[in-house]
Amino acid sequence: MDLFRLGHADLRSLRADAPVHRDEATGLWLVSRYEDVRAVLVDQDAFRPDNALTAVTPIPGPVLRVLARAGFSLPPTLANNGTDTHPALRRLVARFLTPGKVAAMGPRIAELTRERLDRVTGPTADLHPALARDLPAVVLLEVLGIRDVDVPALKAWSTASLELFWGDPSPARQAGLAVPAAEFHRWLTTRIEAARGDDLFGALRHEGVSVRDAAGLCYFLLIAGQETTTQLLCALFHGVLRHGDLWRRAADPAVAAACVEETLRRDPPVNTWRRVAARRSTIAGVEVPEGAHLLLMLAGTGSDPEVFDNPEAYCPARPNARKHLAFGFGRHFCLGAGLARLEGEVVLAETARRFPDLRLLDHDPPMLGLLSFRAPLSVSVALGDQDQLAGGGAVLEQLVGTGGPRQR
């Protein structure tokens, strides 16, 4: 079983036949049913987050030395922190992502979207570089108050880091990826050491967080806080454009918001996450040993028929779509969930409003295939005529006119 390329059929098979399954090739214990995954995420005493940021493919000594020379480290701060320091660090970051501050970003996200759409010219375009790639980074930096950042450099640093820590690169490839990862960490350290303002860097210094811990926190936050939203936008475009005249309806913010939740349920950008068993435990009747490394199949939980009726269908009308685990659950629930949801809703609605006749050209795009991140790498579209769109009203009736499945 190739854990880097699991599809919906693989996830169905795991849920039905082996809901807790040890993968012999990696030693990971795969947990795929909704209730089991949620239970693991809730019980931090039995299942620790310590391995959340550990490189999936072990990093060889020469590459580790490249990172060490840059002072690189990922100490327990947010995603990988099960210690008593986690709540205070989380509260510090959460001050920048309150519901009020997030909501206030709506007009700015719309403005940034429209600026990019103004530059989209036909007859075809790729919405990944044109819109989805950089916008989430700009939004996140503004929310965190961080200025004077080379966004293309940040994107290069973050995509290299994702592959280094969650991919399956060869040793030669790891050596190449370590260079931008080290450069990013060095840049963060320099910025944090000099910080005196009211941005996130300054807040960390003001609260007495060490430069080492602050750099480790910001390294993950500035990667995950915008890369996963880029991935969500690409998955969102594909999800909606595949389904007839649902695209035109997505100009309505309420429909756009429903499509965001259904995409998160069906094709979450963060498709797996990791935990380590702090003691011998039983999950779904299967005993896992102390020290077992668990791979929680978040993408599989969203299609669990015990929770979602007709789970393979893309149905924005379902009443319990928001019950998904795409943002995790419990103490480590994603701090940026509200911002990601807002960006998805605004970007989708603005794009559907500007280009109501958009048509998806590539239904089988190249995919980002990392252990914990999966999304289309391109969104090739024609800015074409509505009568070329497939499906029509019958498809829309199926998707949003059924009244949805039962609430659980």
Helical ranges in 149-199 per DSSP H: 151-166, 171-194
Report pLDDT for 395.
36
Contacts of 370 (CB under 8 A, 6+ apart): 4, 56, 162, 163, 166, 167
The 3-state DSSP class for residue 15 equals helix
DSSP strand E in 172-292: where? 273-277, 281-283, 286-288
pTM: 0.93
Report pLDDT for 385.
57
Q: Inter-axis angle of helices 151-166 and 135-143, to 10 degrees?
A: 100
Q: How many CB atoms lie within 10 A of CB 370?
A: 18
**Paired residues of 31 in beta bridges:** 20, 296
Which element (helix H / strand E) includes 29? strand 29-31
Please give the span between the terminal C-alpha atoms of the chain, in angstroms, as a whole number. Answer: 32
Give the pLDDT of the chain (408 residues) as one tens digit per residue: 799 999 999 999 999 999 999 999 999 999 999 999 999 999 999 999 999 999 999 999 999 999 999 999 999 999 999 999 999 999 999 999 999 999 999 999 999 999 999 999 989 999 999 999 999 999 999 999 999 999 999 999 999 999 999 999 999 999 999 999 999 999 999 999 999 989 999 999 999 999 999 999 999 999 999 999 999 999 999 999 999 789 999 999 999 999 999 999 999 999 999 999 999 999 999 999 999 999 999 999 999 999 999 999 999 999 999 999 999 999 999 999 999 999 999 999 999 999 999 999 999 999 999 999 999 999 999 997 533 333 333 333 334 333 333 332
The answer to whether 162 and 224 have CB atoms below 8 angstroms apart is no
Dihedrals φ, ψ of 245, to 5°? -80, 15
Report pLDDT for 245.
83
CA distance 377 to 293: 29
Q: How many CB atoms lie within 10 A of CB 79?
A: 20
SS (H, E, C) 307-361: CCCCCCCCCCCCCCHHHCCCCCCHHHCCCCHHHHHHHHHHHHHHHHHHCCCCEEC
Q: Give the residue among 15, 3, 91 at the shortest CA–CA distance from 331.
A: 91
8-400 CATH, one of 1.10.3720.10, 1.10.630.10, 3.40.190.10, 3.90.190.20: 1.10.630.10
Could you give the count of Cα atoms lying within 13 Å of 218 in the half-sphere of its Cβ? 30
Provide the pairing of β-strand 293-296 with 359-360: unpaired
DSSP letter (8 states) at residue 291: T
**Paired residues of 294 in beta bridges:** 29, 275
Ranges of each domain in the chain: 8-400
Q: What is the dihedral of CA 75, 55, 365, 384, to 10 degrees?
A: 10
Q: With the C-alpha atoms ordered 139, 143, 144, 147, is the resulting torsion angle positive or negative? A: positive
**Is the backbone of residue 55 left (phi > 0), alpha (psi -120 to 50) or beta?**
beta
- For residue 371, which amino acid is it? L
The 3-state DSSP class for residue 124 equals strand
CA distance 132 to 113: 9
The 3-state DSSP class for residue 112 equals helix
Token match 């435990």: residue? 281
